[in-house]
């Protein structure tokens, strides 16, 4: 098996920017002959797999969606089997995250088995690890075996980040990780939008503009991110974020289809059960990793990706209140994971403002 560096296909994958990659996926999706109304279509296999390889983690985040911080993890042979299935099915990206992937007993082996099968690897990472572990991550980034690293940073104020992440010193380690890895791999900073940081997002963006990052990804799926914002408040927050997106050198995304509806060129941003799925090391498969820990939403993995994909992709439905909305093609009815968390997404600002056709 050729190494990732030697492989022409893998070299091409690692050389693409995030926006080029998203355009590639979008083009692939649009070319599907079975692409139907409102972005619904049926791929024979997902293009992206979110994989939680271990439950180990050193943090205690207030919004954790994989709350059991135990030693449970996939064995290496189970991961090898997953990588071989991905290669066979044409799954071209795996996102390693959920808990702290680099704490898996054989983290280097996990990355190598995917990269040697020419599968693009994205890594989510808190930076809250020993210097030795950070060195290992840096080495593997230098060898181009990881395409992007997503590092959580919730505020420019250290105590705010530490409070959200439940651990003193988390902020300085995250900054250290960004500075160490930024010259070797594109860094995506993940920021959990919540009541503790929402009034200072501009200052947060200013700090990020001084760091080697490519993208800011705004999240708001669980915990303290939950009940704080009405749909109309979110409209104002997202409008400001779009201003920052134009002003600062990095791009801003929000893992929320409603954010996409505000853009001049929106894309179909919810891929759950459409082109992506997730497997946790509890051996549960979901349409989206933000549904981890919801027992009503998984199907047992049972060592076969195709079988669970065929079950999960049929679960995705446009909510009835969205069917006549002109934004539904891009928004796809909002974020199903937020809906499960009873967040205000289903009552989007278009509905709140009495404008279901999206004229507001």
Q: Which residues bind ligand SF4 (CB under 6 A)?
A: 255, 257-258, 261, 270-272, 288, 290, 322, 325, 327-328, 331, 333-337, 348, 350-351, 356, 358
Q: Which is nearer to ligand SF4, 158 or 251 (CB)?
A: 251
- How many residues does the structure list for the chain? 360
- Least CB distance to ligand SF4 at residue 75 (A): 27
Nearer to ligand SF4, 138 or 353 (CB): 353
The HSE-up count of residue 162 (CA atoms within 13 Å, CB side) is 10
Q: Rounded to an integer, what distance in angstroms lies between the CA atom of residue 2 and that of residue 245?
A: 39
First to last CA, the chain: 55
The residue among 163 and 256 lying less far from ligand SF4, judged by its C-beta, is 256
Task: For the CB of residue 140, give the shortest distance to ligand SF4 in the complex, in Å.
Answer: 26
Kindly tell me which of 193 and 272 has the beta carbon lying closer to ligand SF4.
272
Q: How far is the CB of 350 from ligand SF4 (least distance, A)?
A: 5
Looking at the Cβ atoms of 4 and 285, the one nearer to ligand SF4 is: 285
Minimum gap (Å) between residue 231 Cβ and ligand SF4: 9
Q: Which lies closer to ligand SF4 via its Cβ, residue 127 or residue 358?
A: 358
**In the bound complex, what is the minimum distance in angstroms from residue 330's beta carbon to ligand SF4?**
8
**In the complex with ligand SF4, which residue's Cβ is closer, 133 or 353?**
353
CA distance 41 to 340: 22
- Residue with smaller CB distance to ligand SF4, 11 or 329: 329
Closest distance to ligand SF4 from the beta carbon of 58 (Å): 24
What HEC string does the chain produce?
A: CCCCCCCHHHHHHHHCCHHHHHHHHHHHHHCCCCCCHHHCCCCCCCCEEEECCECCCCCCCCCCCCCCCCCCECCHHHHHHHHHHHHHHCCCEEEECCCCHHHCCCHHHHHHHHHHCCCEEEEEECCCCCHHHHHHHHHHHHCCCCCEEEEECCCCCHHHHHHHHCCCCHHHHHHHHHHHHCCCCCEEEEEECCCCCHHHHHHHHHHHHCCCCCEEEEECCCHHHCCCCCHHHHHHHHHHHHHHHHHCCCEEEECCHHHHHCCCCCCCCCCECCCEEEECCCCEEECCHHHCCCHHHCEECCCCHHHHHHHHCCCCCCCHHHCCCCCHHHHCCCCHHHHHCCCCCCCCHHHHCCCCCCCC
- To the nearest whole angstrom, how small is the minimum distance from the Cβ of residue 50 to ligand SF4? 9
From the CB of 64, what's the least distance to ligand SF4, in Å?
15
Rounded to a whole number of angstroms, the minimum distance from the CB of residue 331 to ligand SF4 is: 3
- CB nearer to ligand SF4: pick between 62 and 255: 255
The two structure tokens encoding residue 153: 């940073």
308: phi > 0 → left, psi -120 to 50 → alpha, else beta; which? alpha
């Amino acid at each position: 098996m050729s190494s990732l560096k030697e492989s022409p296909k893998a070299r091409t994958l690692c050389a693409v920017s995030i926006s080029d990659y998203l355009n590639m996926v979008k083009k692939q999706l649009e070319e599907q002959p079975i692409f139907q109304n409102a972005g619904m279509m049926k791929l024979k296999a997902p293009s992206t797999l979110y994989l939680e390889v271990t439950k180990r983690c050193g943090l205690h985040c207030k919004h954790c969606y994989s709350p059991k911080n135990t030693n449970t993890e996939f064995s290496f042979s189970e991961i090898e089997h997953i990588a071989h299935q991905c290669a066979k099915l044409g799954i071209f990206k795996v996102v390693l995250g959920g808990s702290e992937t680099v704490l898996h007993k054989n983290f280097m082996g996990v990355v190598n088995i995917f990269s040697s099968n020419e599968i693009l690897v994205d890594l989510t990472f808190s930076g809250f690890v020993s210097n030795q572990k950070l060195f290992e991550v840096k080495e593997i980034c230098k060898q181009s075996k990881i395409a992007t690293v997503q590092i959580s940073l919730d505020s420019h104020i250290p105590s705010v980040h530490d409070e959200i992440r439940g651990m003193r010193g988390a902020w300085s380690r995250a900054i250290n990780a960004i500075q160490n890895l930024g010259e070797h791999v594109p860094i995506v900073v993940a920021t959990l939008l919540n009541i503790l940081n929402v009034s200072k997002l501009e200052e947060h963006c200013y700090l990020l503009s001084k760091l080697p990052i490519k993208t800011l990804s705004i999240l708001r799926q669980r915990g303290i991110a939950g009940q704080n914002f009405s749909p109309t408040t979110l409209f104002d927050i997202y409008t400001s974020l779009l201003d920052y997106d134009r002003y600062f050198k990095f791009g801003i995304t929000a893992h929320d289809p409603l954010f996409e509806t505000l853009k001049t060129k929106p894309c179909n941003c919810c891929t759950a059960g459409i082109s992506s799925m997730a497997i946790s090391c509890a051996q549960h498969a979901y349409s989206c990793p933000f549904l981890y820990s919801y027992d009503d939403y998984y199907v047992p993995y049972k060592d076969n990706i195709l079988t669970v994909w065929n079950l999960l992709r049929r679960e995705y439905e446009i909510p009835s209140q969205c069917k006549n909305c002109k934004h539904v093609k891009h928004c796809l009815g909002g974020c199903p994971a937020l809906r499960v968390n009873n967040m205000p997404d289903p009552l989007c600002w278009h509905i709140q403002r009495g404008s279901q056709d999206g004229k507001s």
